[in-house]
Copies of this chain bind each other. A is one copy, B any other.
Amino acid sequence: MEEEEQRTEPVVYEDLVDKRHDELMELLESRNMKQLREHMNEMQEFDVAEFLTSIEDNRMPMLFRLLSKERAAEVFANLETPEQERIINSITDSELAGIVEELYVDDAVDIMEELPANVVKRVMRTATPQTRNLINQYLHYPENSAGSIMTAEFVDLKKYMSVKEAFARIRRIGEDKETIYICFVTSAHRKLEGIVTVKDLLLADPDAIIEDLMDRNVIYAVTTEDQESVSEKFSDYDLMALPVVDKENRLVGIVTVDDIIDVMEQEATEDIQLMAGMTPSDKPYLRTGITEMWRNRVPWLLFLMLSATFTSMILTRFEGMLAVQAVLVAFIPMLMGTGGNSGAQASTAVIRSLSLGEVEPRDVLRVMWKEWRVAFLCGLTLSVVNFGKMLLVDGRLLNNPAVTVPVAATVSLSILFIVMFAKVVGSFLPIAAEKIGVDPAVMANPLISTMTDAVSLLIYIYVAKLILKI
Q: Which stretch from A51-59, A81-89, A306-314 is at the chain B interface?
A: A306-314
Q: Which stretch from A24-32, A125-133, A351-359 is at the chain B interface?
A: A351-359
Residue from the list B8, B236, B337 in contact with A305, Cβ < 8 A: B337
Complex alpha-carbon distance, A342 and B276, angstroms: 9
Q: Which stretch from A93-101, A110-118, A136-144, A442-450 is at the chain B interface?
A: A442-450
Q: B residues within 8 A CB of A120? A: none
Q: Does A286 contact B (CB under 8 A)?
A: yes
Q: B residues within 8 A CB of A367? A: 285-286
- Per the 8 Å Cβ criterion, residues 366-402 of A in contact with B are 366-367, 370, 373-374, 377-378, 381-382, 385-386, 389, 393-394, 398, 400
Chain A, 447-470, contact with B by CB distance < 8 Å: what is the 0/1 string?
A: 001100100010000000000000
Residue from the list B44, B237, B298 in contact with A382, Cβ < 8 A: B298
* B359-A333 in contact (CB<8A): no
Known contacts A305-B338, A329-B322; decide if A42 and B352 are in contact (CB<8 Å): no
Q: Does A160 contact B (CB under 8 A)?
A: no
Q: B residues within 8 A CB of A277? A: 341, 344-345
Interface centre among A175, A330, A457 (most CB of B within 10 A): A330
Q: Does A202 contact B (CB under 8 A)?
A: yes
Chain A, 302-343, contact with B by CB distance < 8 Å: what is the 0/1 string?
A: 101110110111011001001100110111111011101110
* A381-B309 in contact (CB<8A): no
Complex alpha-carbon distance, A272 and B276, angstroms: 11
Q: Does A19 contact B (CB under 8 A)?
A: no
Known contacts A199-B174, A298-B382; decide if A235 and B265 are in contact (CB<8 Å): yes
Q: Does A222 contact B (CB under 8 A)?
A: yes
Known contacts A198-B198, A344-B276, A367-B285; decide if A333 and B330 are in contact (CB<8 Å): no
Residue of B nearest to A14 (CB): B229
Residue from the list B272, B297, B298, B311 in contact with A271, Cβ < 8 A: B272
Complex alpha-carbon distance, A140 and B152, angstroms: 44
* A298-B378 in contact (CB<8A): yes
Q: Does A268 contact B (CB under 8 A)?
A: yes
* B327-A285 in contact (CB<8A): no
Q: Does A240 contact B (CB under 8 A)?
A: yes
Known contacts A180-B199, A337-B449, A378-B294; decide if A217 and B44 are in contact (CB<8 Å): yes
* A290-B175 in contact (CB<8A): no
Q: B residues within 8 A CB of A398? A: 313, 316
- Per the 8 Å Cβ criterion, residues 198-251 of A in contact with B are 198-199, 202-203, 217, 219-222, 225, 231, 233-240, 245-249
* B304-A341 in contact (CB<8A): yes
* B363-A286 in contact (CB<8A): yes
Q: Does A188 contact B (CB under 8 A)?
A: no
How many Å from the CB of A296 to the closest CB on chain B? 9
Q: Does A258 contact B (CB under 8 A)?
A: yes
* A333-B334 in contact (CB<8A): no
Q: B residues within 8 A CB of A285? A: 349-350, 352-353, 358-359, 367
* A10-B338 in contact (CB<8A): no
Complex alpha-carbon distance, A100 and B150, angstroms: 37
Q: Does A34 contact B (CB under 8 A)?
A: no
How many Å from the CB of A358 to the closest CB on chain B? 4
Interface contacts beyond A13-B233, A273-B349, A312-B333: sample of 11 additional A-B pairs, CB < 8 Å, sorted by A: A44-B217, A46-B236, A175-B203, A257-B261, A273-B352, A290-B370, A294-B374, A294-B381, A301-B382, A305-B386, A309-B393
Chain A contact residues, CB within 8 Å of chain B: 7-13, 42-44, 46, 167, 170-171, 174-175, 180-181, 198-199, 202-203, 217, 219-222, 225, 231, 233-240, 245-249, 257-258, 260-262, 264-265, 268-269, 271-273, 275-278, 284-286, 290-291, 293-294, 297-298, 300-302, 304-306, 308-309, 311-313, 315-316, 319, 322-323, 326-327, 329-334, 336-338, 340-342, 344-345, 347-353, 356, 358-359, 363, 366-367, 370, 373-374, 377-378, 381-382, 385-386, 389, 393-394, 398, 400, 415, 419, 444-446, 449-450, 453, 457
